[in-house]
Amino acid sequence: MNAETAAPVDLSLPEAFLLLATNDNDGKPEIPVFALRTTLAGAILGELEMQGAIELQGKHVRATGATPKTELRRELEAIRHKSRLHTPKRWVSMMESRGEVQRVYEGMASRGIVEHAGEKHLGFFRTVRFPEKDHAPEAALMKKLQAALAVVPAGQQVPGSTPVPAVATDGKTTDAAQPAAKAPDARTLALIALLQAAGLFHKLFPSADRVWADELAKDYWPARAVEDELRMIRLAEEEAPAL
């Protein structure tokens, strides 16, 4: 299908991240499974914030009282009815799971974006993968990301972050964006921050500016929570006694 002529497909942050983090052909993750699950949890928090359902107040995540129409109702209700407030990192830790990944895959499969593909072991299906079925949504997403990376306007930021300087993909800082350039939207910048936190951004865009991407991930609180959780996971693995 031609991505330029196909009808646009709206992807949530979790869907967009998972689509980019999955191999098109075999449906396997392009990053370690623990990083996939952790970043997806951060993407869920990011999506709920984009919808106005949650916000960061001080060091804790709070439900706003808004009730947007969302497929993340289960996750929102968990935040809304938790007796204690938690930090973003704590919510990432609690939400990261195989079940959350499966639910997002299933949602995309129901829309024909990916498809079920079972792997057999000794004649039994042991693993379900989700290779790409319709390339148009990912192609459109990549085109949008590439356009955003062509020039980053001065002061462009995602909600909850501090403004970043204008940075072109050649790594040079500029005073302002090119007049004809369209400023990347907050959702696109949020996705870039999450991809960077997952360690996937520079696999997809090896020539993009690392300093800007690092700053964006650091200043966007869901991505920062992902980085903090991944750091703790890796530290625990390093300290685990060898068997």
What's the mean pLDDT in 126-137?
Answer: 90
**Where in the sequence is the domain holding 77, given as residue range(s)?**
13-129
Cα 88 from Cα 173, distance rounded (Å): 31
160 versus 202: the higher-pLDDT residue is 202
Q: Are 107 and 113 in contact (CB under 8 A)?
A: no
Whether 78 and 172 share a structural domain? no
Shared domain check, 142 and 122: no
Percent of the chain with pLDDT over 90: 69
- Each residue's pLDDT tens digit, 53-89: 999 999 999 999 998 989 999 999 999 999 899 999 9
Residue 194 confidence (pLDDT) above 70: yes
At which of 69, 104, 129 does a domain end?
Answer: 129
pLDDT at 175: 44
Q: Rounded to an integer, what distance in angstroms lies between the CA atom of residue 173 and that of residue 170?
A: 9
**Pair 232, 199 in one domain:** yes
Task: Pick the last residue of a domain from 77, 105, 129.
Answer: 129
Residue 157 located in a structural domain: yes
Check: CB of residue 54 under 8 Å from CB of residue 79. yes
Which of 100, 129, 158 is where one domain is finished? 129
Count: domains in the chain:
2
Cβ-based burial of 200 (10 A; exposed 0-12, middle 13-18, buried ≥19): buried
- Residue 125 sits in the same domain as residue 33: yes
- Report the distance separating Cα 92 and Cα 206, nearest Å: 27
